[in-house]
Amino acid sequence: MRTSKNDSSFIHTGASMLMVVFIIIVLITFSAAILISADNDSTLTEKLAENKTDYYMASNRGEEILADVDNALESAYLNASDEDGYMSSAKENISKLSFDFTSIEFTKDDTFTYSIEISKDRALEIMVQICIPKENDGGFYRILQWKSVSVKEWNGDDSLNVYRPGN
């Protein structure tokens, strides 16, 4: 028996309609995935920008402290008669410096550290060694450490959930 022309055109129309619907669903799915990915990228970019800004603000404060330290060391050097006098005067001048966001602590005879808060979880730790200018190409100090460290206490999870039948 022969099928009529109208029956076959309905099948072809239905197949093309299903194809169009399938393509629209795929496009909607990909569009939603792209929008979610773009939103996540935007959030990550904002967090990174905030972290970088906080780090560089702390770094600028660290450099301001170094400028004050440099002035104190220069004053000690100009007023000292010998190297021993310079070193003791330098430590004394640095100890007199005060800052409202950090304190300077001597760790060794000629080395001191200070820390500047970057965020509630991180700090910028700076370690500086006082130098005799003629032994350090004219510089009063040498920066030994300038790094971001975590100040949040780490609590490691040592537990291991293993499947135990019957428990």
The residues near 136 (Cβ < 8 Å, ≥ 6 apart) are: 142
What is the C-alpha to C-alpha distance for residues 32 and 38, in angstroms, rounded to an integer?
10
In a 13 Å sphere around the CA of 123, the CA atoms on its Cβ side amount to 13
43 domain residue, yes or no = yes
Closest Cα partner for 94 from 126, 71, 116?
71
- % of the chain with per-residue pLDDT over 70: 92
End-to-end CA distance of the chain: 69
User: In which band, very low, low, confident or very high, does the pLDDT at 11 lie, cut at 50, 70 and 90?
Assistant: low
17 domain residue, yes or no = no
DSSP string, 50-117: HHHHHHHHHHHHHHHHHHHHHHHHHHHHHH-SSHHHHHHHHHHHHHH---SS---EE-SSSEEEEEEE
105 is in which domain, residue-wise? 38-150
1 domain residue, yes or no = no
59 domain residue, yes or no = yes
What is the C-alpha to C-alpha distance for residues 166 and 83, in angstroms, rounded to an integer?
76
What is the C-alpha to C-alpha distance for residues 94 and 104, in angstroms, rounded to an integer?
8
User: In which band, very low, low, confident or very high, does the pLDDT at 128 lie, cut at 50, 70 and 90?
Assistant: very high
Total domains in the fold of the chain: 1
pTM above 0.85, yes or no: no
134 domain residue, yes or no = yes
Most confident of 63-67, 106-110, 149-153: 63-67
33 domain residue, yes or no = no
Instruction: Specify the pLDDT at position 98.
Output: 81
